[in-house]
Amino acid sequence: MQYPEPIAKLIESFMKLPGIGNKTATRLAFYAVDMNNQDVMDFADALKQTKENLKYCSICGNLTEEDPCEICRDKSRDQSTILVVEQPKDVMVMEKIQQYHGLYHVLHGVLSPIEGIGPEDINVSSLIKRLQKNDEVKEVIVATNATPEGESTAMYLSKLIRPSGIKVTRLARGLSMGADIEYADEMTLFKAVEGRTEI
């Protein structure tokens, strides 16, 4: 027996989301059927508003309602540092810790030759133009994820930026708080030793 077409289409739509398989999509679709009409309308409206009202900042590439974004407009932020992240959600994570007060640049991905993603497919050229236009920038902090793709992107950016005389740094890697050394993988231990600090 097949699902009625509206349910089947809803399941299909949920399956387009990352990490959602058939079972989860089916569960979400049936949950949506049981939602009251106002909740369904609010949910649909939130999706519509997100698509219609959000855009990417023309300077840093972060999600924003106004262009340029709030962070790029804030002249009280440290204009000498740019922290480079993979996705807009990474900006929110960094802002939550309230320890970084500089600017950002969002790549919208990482280099992945296996998947055919090269420098022209991510937001690299606008970063280079931005650095050429702004002589206030003294340091670029690369905060890509600790994956092979994130590491190769960091190395690529470093080679691209260093000749301009701008300092390129990488976020420290290593053991997380409360972690036991015996359970850490070799790469984590290597990065922990490499990034050791004086106490």
- pTM for this entry: 0.82
Report residue 30 as tokens: 């049936």
Q: Where are the domains of the chain?
A: 5-53, 74-170
HEC letters along 117-162: ECHHHCCCHHHHHHHHHCCCCCEEEECCCCCHHHHHHHHHHHHHHH
**CATH number of the 5-53 domain:** 1.10.8.420
**pLDDT tens per residue, range 158-196:** 999 999 999 999 987 776 777 776 777 777 777 777 776
**pLDDT tens per residue, range 1-17:** 789 999 999 999 999 99
Among the CATH numbers 3.40.1360.10, 3.40.47.10, 3.90.470.20, 3.40.50.300, which is that of 74-170?
3.40.1360.10
Tally the residues of the chain: 199
